[in-house]
């Protein structure tokens, strides 16, 4: 199976390259970065700290999709729609871990999923997907007698907030309560805001250092508090999940899939 990596010189991109190179039964078909990137022309694997792969980093995603069976995308919001369009055009499966997407981006991804298999997830680790299921279950049992707060922390370079995983946890909690997150989400508190509205789901965002990713869902009731947490100490958990998703797409019918389906949790 030929696997391509867009954004191959980023933090996640390098980890994905290493993970693919270390895996059996797959081939690294190549990697791309933005035009003008200083590492263009370098061996994709060598720039990620691995052995030579024989493939050079390029800046043409169209060529990468043409050479791949599946492409993994952990890039930026502005490129998501382009990569979805290319996947559909070339008949290539797509794994998307990019967060901070806009409604128009998701519309493009959904359109591509009518043509090819697409796995999209805010977080591809096994642990986080278990956390999502637990959050939905606990929210359903406790109801709005318990206030829900979601706290997340990431490294100083992360550009979107709250994190995609935090929002996914919010959606899971809201789903457990039988409501829509948009109607109960509280993302900003500053100044004289008054008392907390019953049923709201709050978010707190922390940024600093090199934190890979930490998420805690707090259920605060009268006289007790329940907390469910996940802490990622290495990006390898996301890269392994993405590779698992890429392999899972082989032979699948077109459709928009989640990591819960990849992991057999649905």
Instruction: Give tens-digit pLDDT for 126-173.
Output: 899 999 999 999 999 999 999 999 999 999 999 899 999 999 999 999
Residue 160 tokens, joined: 């979107």
Please give the structure tokens belonging to residue 245: 């998703």
Render pLDDT for 27-54 as a digit per residue (tens, 0 to 9).
999 999 999 999 999 999 999 999 999 9
| 8 A C-beta contact, residue 243 and residue 263 | no
Instruction: Tell me the C-alpha to C-alpha distance, in Å, between residue 73 and each of 31, 64, 98, 124.
Output: 10, 12, 6, 12
Catalytic position from the list 90, 155, 158, 215: 158
For 177-197, write each residue's pLDDT tens digit.
Answer: 999 999 999 999 999 999 999
pTM: 0.81
- Residue 135: give its domain's CATH number: 3.30.360.10
Residue 81 is part of which domain span?
2-120+235-262
Q: Do 148 and 221 reside in the same domain of the chain?
A: yes
250 is catalytic: no
Average pLDDT over residues 103-115: 96
Residue 6's DSSP bridge partners are 32, 73
- The reply to whether 111 and 243 lie within a common domain is yes
On whether both 19 and 70 belong to a single domain, the answer is: yes
For residues 130 and 203, state if they share a domain. Answer: yes
Going by C-beta distance under 8 Å and a sequence separation of 6 or more, which residues neighbour residue 222? Answer: 145
**Active-site annotation holds for 114:** no
Instruction: State whether 114 and 243 are in the same domain.
Output: yes
Same domain for 16 and 102, yes or no, is yes
- Is residue 22 domain-shared with residue 150, that is, in the same domain? no
The 10s digit of each residue's pLDDT in 69-100 is: 999 999 999 999 999 999 999 999 999 999 88
Got the DSSP string for 133-189? HHHHHHHHHHGGGSEEEEEEEE-TT--SSS-HHHHHHHHHHHHHTTS-HHHHEE---
The number of domains in the chain is: 2
Mark whether 14 and 94 lie in a shared domain: yes
Q: Are residues 155 and 247 in the same domain?
A: no
Q: Which of 37, 114, 154, 157 is catalytic?
A: 154
User: Does residue 39 sit in the same domain as residue 6?
Assistant: yes
SS3 of residue 70 by DSSP: strand
Query: Is residue 266 over pLDDT 80?
Result: no
Same-domain check for residues 210 and 110: no
The full DSSP string for 88-128 is: HHHT-EEEE---S--HHHHHHHHHHTTTSEEEE-S---HHH
Output the average pLDDT for the chain.
95
Residue 107: pLDDT over 90: yes
Indicate the pLDDT class of residue 265, thresholds 50, 70 and 90: confident
pLDDT at residue number 17 = 97
β-bridge pairing 117-120 and 93-96: parallel
Residues 102, 132, single domain; the answer is no
201-226 pLDDT, tens per residue?
A: 999 999 999 999 999 999 999 999 99
CATH number where 101 lies:
3.40.50.720
């Amino acid at each position: 199976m030929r696997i391509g990596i867009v954004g191959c010189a980023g933090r996640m991109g390098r980890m994905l390259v290493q993970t693919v190179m270390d895996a059996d039964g797959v081939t690294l078909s190549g990697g791309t970065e933005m035009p003008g990137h200083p590492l263009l022309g370098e061996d994709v694997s060598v720039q990620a700290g691995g052995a030579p792969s024989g493939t050079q980093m390029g800046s043409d995603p169209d060529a990468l999709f043409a050479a791949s069976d599946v492409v993994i995308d952990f890039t930026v919001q502005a490129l998501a729609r382009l990569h979805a369009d290319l996947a559909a055009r070339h008949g290539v499966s797509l794994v998307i871990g990019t967060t901070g997407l806009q409604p128009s981006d998701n519309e493009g991804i959904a359109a591509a999923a009518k043509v090819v298999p697409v796995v999209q997830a805010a977080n591809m680790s096994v642990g986080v997907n278990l956390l999502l299921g637990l959050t939905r279950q606990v929210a359903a049992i406790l109801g709005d007698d318990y206030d829900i707060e979601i706290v997340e922390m990431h490294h100083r370079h992360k550009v979107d907030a709250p994190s995609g995983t935090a929002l996914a946890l919010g959606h899971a909690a809201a789903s457990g309560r039988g409501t829509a997150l948009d109607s109960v989400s509280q993302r900003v508190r500053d100044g004289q805001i008054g008392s907390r509205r019953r049923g709201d789901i709050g978010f707190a965002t922390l940024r600093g250092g090199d934190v890979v990713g930490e998420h805690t869902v707090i259920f605060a009731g009268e006289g007790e508090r329940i907390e469910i947490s996940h802490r990622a100490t290495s990006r390898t958990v996301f890269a392994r999940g993405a590779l698992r998703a890429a392999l899972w797409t082989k032979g699948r019918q077109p459709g928009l899939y989640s990591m819960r389906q990849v992991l057999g949790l649905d």
